[in-house]
Amino acid sequence: MAGKMELQFLGVGSFFTKTDYHNNLCINSNILIDCGFTAARSLRDQGRNFGDIDHLFITHTHADHIGGLEECAFFNRYVAGERKPKLNLPAPLADQLWEGSLRNGLQDEAAGAHGLEDYFDIVVVQDTFEIEGVSFRVVPTNHVTDKFCCGLVIDDRVYFSGDTRFDPDMVSEHGSSADVIYHEVQFFEGGIHTGLAELMTLPEELRNKISLMHYGDNWVDFQTEAEEAGFSWARRHVSYTH
């Protein structure tokens, strides 16, 4: 376990957010969990850019989680002097990310850019891994059928749900021993995410640990209801120390 960690969300919004940026998490200022297409704008708001990010980890391949990788790649190659941040990938995403998502935009044979490794230092991670003294444990989730997605246990004290349908056993297994649970939420029924009504069925001791993330821009309409049930809210550009 490392010392104190600083967590800051570049955004806390859902795929459809127009105000709160995508749900991407920065750890100790230079480790980025997911990189949606609002990540660069969020960094700019803080006077930062992709040159400040040394490590990335990707949970799955939806655009609110990888849509900023093309800009990150081009920025580091052409603006930051052919810099290569480390791109940490679960094994199921190692080939899928390039072939299924990024190849068409990034491949440039004439410029010597043949694959993802020409932009990033690729690290295929195991179920447990470490970045700059911070430990991570991959927690596969049920998000889209037959597509890999995961959450993370971070340094044995933070449970980050990732995108997931409601799974109370998963929350209990990984959240009971955590100091805090950052859990995604949506405010309508159905789909491939976790509804607020579903989270409200969790035991009080778990609800009191949960800070909600990946939510709609209309979150204030549900603020009182959620807070009365024990939940708090992760907010973008706010630092949380754990």
- Tell me what the mean pLDDT of segment 22-43 comes to: 98
Mean pLDDT of the region 119-139: 98
Residue 65 main-chain phi, psi, to 5 deg: -120, -20
- Angle at Cα 22 formed by Cα 120 and Cα 194, nearest 5°? 115
Identify the pLDDT of residue 223.
98
Q: Specify the long-range contacts of residues 89-94, CB closer than 8 Å, at least 24 apart.
A: 89/57, 89/58, 89/122, 89/123, 89/124, 89/125, 90/58, 90/124, 90/125, 90/138, 90/148, 90/150, 91/124, 91/125, 91/126, 92/148, 93/58, 93/60, 93/61, 93/148, 94/122, 94/124
* pLDDT tops 80 at residue 209: yes
- What number of H helices and E strands is found in the chain? 9, 14
158-160, strands of its sheet edge to edge: 128-131, 134-140, 150-154, 158-160, 180-184, 210-213, 232-233
Give the pLDDT of residue 143: 97
**What are phi and psi for residue 150, nearest 5 degrees?**
-150, 160
Sheet holding 25-27, edge to edge: 121-125, 86-90, 55-57, 31-33, 25-27, 6-9, 239-241
pLDDT of res. 194: 98
6-233 is classed in which CATH architecture?
Answer: 4-Layer Sandwich (3.60)
Q: What is the pLDDT, as a whole number, of residue 2?
A: 58
Is residue 207 pLDDT above 80, yes or no? yes
Q: What is the share, in percent, of the chain residues with pLDDT greater than 90?
A: 97
In this prediction, residues 21-38 reach a mean pLDDT of 98
pLDDT of residue 55: 98
* pLDDT tens profile 69-90: 999 999 999 999 999 999 999 9
**Rounded CA separation 143/150 (Å):** 8
User: What pLDDT, on the 0 to 100 scale, is given for residue 190?
Assistant: 85
Q: Under a CB-based contact definition with an 8 Å cutoff, are residues 30 and 46 in contact?
A: no
Whether the per-residue pLDDT at 1 is higher than 70: the answer is: no
The pLDDT assigned to 50 comes to 98
* Interatomic CA distance for residues 61 and 5, integer angstroms: 26
pLDDT digits (tens, 9 = 90+) for 152-205: 999 999 999 999 999 999 999 999 999 999 999 999 988 999 999 999 999 999
> What are the DSSP calls for 154-179, one per residue?
ETTTEEE--S----HHHHHHHHTT-S
Predicted confidence band at 3 (pLDDT cuts at 50, 70, 90)?
Answer: confident
Domain boundary assignment for the chain: 6-233
What average pLDDT does the structure give for the chain? 97
Give pLDDT tens digits for 224-237.
Answer: 999 999 999 999 99
